[in-house]
């Protein structure tokens, strides 16, 4: 596969188990190489076979308790493996090492619950990205950070953009990701670091 055509996406599903068929259809129709999924609402008692999708490897981190959770579906034509990271209280995350041609990449799916401390989250994120930059040529960090970038002067937005820019990353979401009849917001979690 041509590394210029590599595609990644993120989806907040708010319960993966009943929507696995829909996610499989999305993967087939959009032909994503990697799909990061937040708010899976899975528990360790749910077997991988119930949420697996043909042609993709599944990596997941379930929340202990109700809600949350993250997962990554990676097309099985790529060599991929899970990366162990110390779980931090500020977010839920899963990271994988992926080889795209000759390029050594890392892909992460992060979910920051809105009730967690954002300053701690920013510190944890910056630390982890700095560590990853030492080992990988490209970093893809996707997820739901629960930070609205449509409010550019908000402290959380300023802090997140500062971390992203400090890591030579690009924030690539340029339109609202949550839209309702009365409001829209651009929640972020996508970036790419190329050294």
Q: Which of 14-23, 57-66, 160-169 has the highest mean pLDDT?
A: 14-23
- Four-CA torsion 171, 128, 140, 180, nearest 10 degrees: -50
The pLDDT confidence band at residue 147, using thresholds 50, 70 and 90, is: confident
Domains of the chain in start order, with CATH, are 3-194 (3.60.10.10)
Of the CA atoms within 13 Å of residue 44, those in its CB half-sphere come to 3
Dihedral of alpha carbons 50, 53, 54, 57, sign:
negative
pLDDT(29) > 80: yes
Task: Return the closest-CA partner of residue 85 out of 96, 72, 74.
Answer: 96
Task: Return the closest-CA partner of residue 144 out of 169, 173, 181.
Answer: 173
More confident residue, 72 or 118: 72
The pTM (predicted TM-score) of the whole model is 0.90
Q: For 101-127, write each residue's pLDDT tens digit.
A: 888 999 999 999 988 999 999 999 999
Cβ neighbours around 168 below 10 Å, total: 14
């Amino acid at each position: 596969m041509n590394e210029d055509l590599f595609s990644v996406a993120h989806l907040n599903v708010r319960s993966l188990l009943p929507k696995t068929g829909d996610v499989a259809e999305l993967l087939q129709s959009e032909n994503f190489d990697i799909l990061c999924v937040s708010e899976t609402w899975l528990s360790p008692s749910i077997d991988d076979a119930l949420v697996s999708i043909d042609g993709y490897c599944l990596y997941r981190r379930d929340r202990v308790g109700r809600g949350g959770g993250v997962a990554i579906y990676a097309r099985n034509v790529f060599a991929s493996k899970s990366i162990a990271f110390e779980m931090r209280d500020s977010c839920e995350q899963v990271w994988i090492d992926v080889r795209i041609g000759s390029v050594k990449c890392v892909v992460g799916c992060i979910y920051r619950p809105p009730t967690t401390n954002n300053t701690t989250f920013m510190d944890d994120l910056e630390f982890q990205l700095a560590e990853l930059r030492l080992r990988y040529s490209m970093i893809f960090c996707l997820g739901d950070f629960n930070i609205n970038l449509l409010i550019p002067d908000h402290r959380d937005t300023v802090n997140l953009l500062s971390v992203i820019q400090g890591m030579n990353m690009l924030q690539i979401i340029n339109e609202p990701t949550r839209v309702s009849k009365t409001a829209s917001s651009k929640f972020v979690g996508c970036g790419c670091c190329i050294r």
